[in-house]
Amino acid sequence: MAAISAQLASFKSFSSLLNDKKCSRFRCQIKSFGNQHSNWSVEFLSGKESVHLIRNSSPPISMAASAAGSAVKPAKKVCLFYCAETEVLAKRIAAESDAIELRSINWRTFDDGFPNLFIPNANGIRGQNVAFLASFSSPAVIFEQLSVIYALPKLFISSFTLVLPFFPTGTSERMEDEGDVATAFTLARILSHIPTSRGGPTSLVTFDIHALQERFYFGDTILPCFESGIPLLKNRLQKLPDSDKISIAFPDDGAWKRFHKQLQHFPTIVCNKVRIGDQRIVRIKEGDATGRHVVIVDDLVQSGGTLIECQKVLAASGATKISAYVTHGIFPKSSWQRFEHDNGGQLEKGLTYFWITDSCPHTVKEVKCKRPFEILSLSGSIAAALQV
């Protein structure tokens, strides 16, 4: 109360205003009592003896607090290791940020074919944030990469992030008959047992995992971060000259459930497969392709049979252009060769564009500079995820 009295005493110089009959209301503000900052108002109404002391709902923000809030958060320094397959993508990621430093590993083999691995300057990464960019493109390379993945967290690092753009066993998530092995669950269990670093559990960054329920396959000792390549597609579509005529087609209900919320601003077409005898035929379930540049969207492609059937149906339904996007272009046995360019309008034979990301390095090497393929790099998305 003594502090309040001291503040009120400072208003005596305004007594002439308070006694002036023409002045019916006088209001001033107290910004602090001693060292305690607050926002108070003093209100005097003529004809009344009382002085009202009112505390406002929101305190003023000091200049120091405002400056601290507007300060730019410093970028997290990351040491990024990579395997032979992901070297090109790793260099692109490092080019996105000065905070990312590339580190190499000596990938060698003994005479019997088993890995002979060495991490140079292992003491130099102590206390650092470390990441490893993996590619499980075949069972032959998984073991050597897992050996490094299990070793890095034990080198007294501050944190560890595993970047696995494509989760390869994602399509093997169901058991339809007794004896089926869900290898998606097996791989998730292996990754869930990566040793913890000094900073805690490993973070896993992966893109457009095949089945959304697979996130529950991972244990509590790993922190999966599920990213998507769809923002890259949306950015690319905005740059097309006919961006106002784009419609999105989903080859089945599964693709619609996975992606329709991210693409809800586009008109949509949903296809499905129906069985007639021994044949499975693709039909349009809902939507209209007439006069539209239709982009078929799915998470991955292997043989490409379903996409080709969708292409034929959409062409017959009046689409003016047909393109496709998948996050993961697997294309075993070079099945990408089945997809041709439309050569300016031959919709029944080819695509205008076929966009894929660089999540599968082997495919990128094969289709680079071959129409209709175009690569949308995940480098920026991965660099941003490493800052989380």
Domain ranges of the chain: 78-227+382-386, 230-357
Same fold for the domain at 78-227+382-386 and the one at 230-357?
yes
| pLDDT at residue 273, rounded to an integer | 83
pLDDT tens readout for residues 334-383: 999 999 999 877 787 799 999 999 999 999 999 999 999 999 999 999 99
pLDDT tens readout for residues 188-200: 999 999 999 999 9
Q: How far apart are CA 272 and CA 250, in angstroms?
A: 9
CATH fold of 230-357: Rossmann fold (3.40.50)
| pLDDT at residue 74, rounded to an integer | 86
This prediction's pTM: 0.80
Q: pLDDT higher for 22 or 372?
A: 372
Taking the CA atoms of residue 129, residue 221, residue 172 and residue 174 in that order, the dihedral angle to the nearest 10 degrees is -150
Buried b (16+ CB within 10 A) or exposed e, 146-169: bebbeebbebebbbbbbbbbbbbb
C-alpha 268 chain-centroid distance: 23
In CATH, which of 3.40.366.10, 3.40.50.2300, 3.40.50.2020, 3.40.50.300 is domain 78-227+382-386? 3.40.50.2020
Beta strands in the chain (DSSP E): 25-33, 36-45, 51-55, 78-82, 100-103, 106-109, 115-118, 129-133, 159-163, 202-207, 222-227, 246-250, 268-276, 279-286, 293-301, 321-329, 340-341, 350-351, 354-357, 373-376
Q: How far apart are CA 195 and CA 293, in angstroms?
A: 48
- Whether the upstream peptide bond of residue 372 has omega within 30° of 0, thus cis, is yes
* DSSP secondary structure code for residue 200 in this structure: B
User: Considering only CA atoms, which of 193, 244, 184 is closest in space to residue 213?
Assistant: 184
**Lowest mean pLDDT segment, chosen from 44-58, 167-181, 273-287:** 44-58
